[in-house]
Amino acid sequence: MSRIVTLLAALIALAAGFAVYNFWPEEKPEALVYEPPRALKSFKLNSTADGAIENEALKGQWTLLFTGYTFCPDICPTTMSDLKGVLPALQEEVSEPVKVWMISVDPQRDDIERLTQYVNYFGDDFVGVRAEHKELFPFVRDLGLMYSIPDEGEENYLVNHSAAIILVNPNGHRKAIFNADHQRGEVPVVSMDQLKKDFAIVTD
């Protein structure tokens, strides 16, 4: 009798394991995924593509947002170039357009003309976004990102800012955060290989 009970227990355990294997996702993203996606607070910014924009500008597309500035010596140009390279592969995963928003965190030097020249170098799917600190800071903070503000009167400075990339879904809601790799002696940027894998999972 005990052997029958043991055999039944083993079969139940095997069946349970089979069920978990079949219904649990084969891969989990390394990105932080919002379930459900989170709405953004109302914002008013300026765009190199559409002039004055509000939340509606994020709808109908998948948008990758990151903070940067045109005088940035390392993280920003590297991230922009990397995104340009991976964008075609991301577009194959979804039917909606995939856009990149570079949110300038240097309103003192990045006027709309300078920002337009910068993002246009990377292609039509790249958009520059800016605002004065009063409107910009709450927007960046709502995304879960940060940046530093230079001292008044300072002209030659670096802006410390987040290197993560935010994914916004076609409803205009935050879907995921792709965090940067921080390796000693290297520029902290998001791995495009990992972003591509995670993008395929979270947009499925």
Q: Is 63 helix (H, G, I), strand (E, B) or coil?
A: strand
133 is in an annotated binding site: no
CA geometry: angle 192, 88, 203, nearest 5 deg: 70
161 is in an annotated binding site: yes
Q: Is 89 helix (H, G, I), strand (E, B) or coil?
A: helix
Measured CA distances, 70 to 35, 86, 125, 180 (Å) = 33, 21, 17, 19
72 is in an annotated binding site: yes
HEC letters along 109-178: CCCHHHHHHHHHCCCCCEEEEECCHHHHHHHHHHHCCCECCCCCCCCCCCCCECCCEEEECCCCEEEEEE
Distance CA 179, CA 65 (A): 12
Q: Which residues does residue 126 pair with via DSSP β-bridges, in sequence order?
A: 100
Residues belonging to the binding site for Cu cation are: 72, 76, 161
Residues belonging to the binding site are: 72, 76, 161
